[in-house]
Amino acid sequence: MEFKSEFFRSPPTPVALLPYGMVRYHGAPADLRDIPLGTILNIKAFLPPDPKNSSVVTTPNHWYPLPPENHAMLIEDEPSLCLREGKTWRLKEVDMKNDQGLVVATCESKDAAEAKAPEQKMTLDATTRFWRGRESLKLADLIAEGTWPASGKKSLGGQSVLLGLCWKPCPDGIFVRYHISDIWLDETSTQRAIQSQTEVHKSLIRSRWMPAFVDNVEYGKFGRAKVTVTLFGGMDPALYADFKKGGQTAINGAENTLKHAGGSYGPAHMASKGPILEVVKTSGAVPMGSSGVQVTMETDLIIEGIRPGRVVRIRASDWPNLYVPREEYIGDHPSVEDRFPSPALFPRY
């Protein structure tokens, strides 16, 4: 975490996603598994909803003022934050020395009325990727083109770009200076990055099902019930559009980690199946974490995992019937740790 002290000394602070916590990477929906280690992330988080069942530590570190708000509602990388907040990085100047570049830039609002942003210094080097249209360029390519200096200073004229940021150890006793991992030089390259990540995440959600929580259950006879769920937010709109009135659907119980219940026979085996009776889109402001889409379905197999307030996963009728890997479901004879992961995984520094 970034403090007003030397960044490298800060022990990594554990973080968990709320069931409806959203991840954004390259301006698109993502999963934590999509984000490379070292990526700079912006986090919006809360205190643990239930400290007894927290999968991350609830007691603050004695030395560093780590925030107790470690249950994340939103985790996003730098391009995602900039795109959401309507900001852009403006490159002022680069100074190249021994294949290392020092970039001076400002992160500005596209709204010209906002106050002038402070200048920041960031490093780049031969590992930095430059994206232009459909090209993936190296620093050497730009130097060869003459758009970037091989050595010395060059004014970059406030060029508007998106930056991917990471951190690397940096010399000269500097508390924190981020490193530029990626530069998207134009709108086309940005849109292509968004599209690429969106496809990755769509594929994931089609196989793992849409997370949601149960709003309401109207119990019928002999195990029948009408179940209304609110789909969680942060997905590509095309996935929500797959839930259509009249289509068949399946709901399976899940834990707060979004692990499927139901064991090794796959999520569809024990899922409650039935027709979609209604799909309602919320009018008005939609809270963060929610999609604003409610689905009501009818089933003849109402089970314990499908109670109001419980987290579930729901599948649209034309999504493939797949099995998820072992670590993504609760086994038939689970340990308590399987269901309620403890913070024991995290090292203490």
Partner 1 sequence: MAHSSSFIVLCSWLLALGAYAANEGQGTKNQEQAPEVFRPVAGSFPPIEKAHTYQGELAFVDHANRRGSIRVQGPGIFRSTEPNPFTLLPYGMVRYRGAPAELRDIPLGTVLHITAFLPPDPKTSSVPVLPVDNRNRDANHRRGVGVFPAENHALLVEDEASYCQRMGLTWKLKEADFQDLQGTMTAALERKQGGEKPVEQKLNYDHATRFWRGRDCLTLTEVVAEGILPASGKKAMEGRSVLLGLTWKPTPGGVFLRYHISDVWLDASASERAAKVQAEAHKTFIRSRWVPGWVDSVEYGKFGRATVTVTLFGGIDPTLYADFQQGGQAYLNGAENTLKYTESGSAGPTQMAARGPIVEVRRYSGEIPTGCSGIQVRFETDLITEGIRPTKIVRMRPASWPDVHLPREEYINGNAGNLEERFPTPAIFPKY
By the 8 A CB rule, do 109 and 89 touch?
no
Among 58, 147, 159, 207, binds partner 1 (CB under 8 A): 207
Q: How many residues does the chain have?
A: 349
Q: How far apart are CB 267 and partner 1 at their closest, in Å? A: 10
CA angle 162, 167, 169 (to 5 degrees): 145
Structure tokens at 58: 């609830």
- Regarding 6 and contact with partner 1 (CB under 8 A), the answer is yes
Long-range CB contacts (within 8 A, 24+) of 9-13: 10/64, 11/61, 11/64, 11/66, 11/349, 13/61, 13/64, 13/66, 13/67, 13/70
Say if CB 174 and CB 6 are below 8 A apart: no
Task: Report the residue number, 10 or 296, with the smaller CB distance to partner 1.
Answer: 10
Among 44, 192, 226, 339, binds partner 1 (CB under 8 A): 192
Neighbours of 280 (CB within 10 A): 13
**Among 151, 155, 203, 248, contact with partner 1 (rule: CB under 8 A):** 203
For the sheet containing 28-30, what is the strand order? 28-30, 16-25, 71-77, 41-46
Helix ranges (H only) for the chain are 78-85, 139-145, 187-208, 237-240, 336-339
Minimum CB–partner distance for residue 43 and partner 1 (Å): 18
The mark string for 137-176 relative to partner 1 (x by CB under 8 A, - otherwise) is xx--x-------------------------xxxxx-----
Applying the rule CB under 8 A, the residues between 85 and 124 that interact with partner 1 are: none
The strand pairing partners of 152, in sequence order, are 96
Site string for partner 1, 240-269 (x = CB under 8 A): ------------------------x-----
Among residues 118 and 169, whose Cβ is nearest to partner 1?
169
Instruction: Return all residues near 41 (Cβ < 8 A) that are at least 6 apart.
Output: 35, 75, 76, 77
Q: Is 195 in the site for partner 1 (CB under 8 A)?
A: yes
Per-residue binder mask for partner 1 (CB under 8 A), 35-74, x = binder? -xxx------------------------------------
Residues in contact with partner 1, total (CB under 8 A)?
Answer: 53
Report if residue 321 touches partner 1, rule: CB under 8 A.
yes
Between residues 219 and 265, which has the closer beta carbon with respect to partner 1?
265
CB atoms within 10 A of CB 31: 15
Between 85 and 199, name the residue whose CB sits nearer to partner 1: 199
Look at residues 227, 232, 226 and name the one whose alpha carbon lies nearest to residue 212.
Answer: 232
Q: What share of the chain is helix, strand, coil (3-state, %, to 5)?
A: 20, 40, 45
For the bound state, the minimum distance from the C-beta of residue 132 to partner 1, rounded and expressed in Å, comes to 9
Q: Least distance from C-beta 38 to partner 1, angstroms?
A: 7
Residue ranges that bind partner 1, judged by CB under 8 A: 6, 8-12, 33-34, 36-38, 125-127, 129, 131, 134-138, 141, 167-171, 192, 195-196, 199-200, 202-203, 207, 264, 320-327, 331, 335, 337-338, 344-345, 347-349
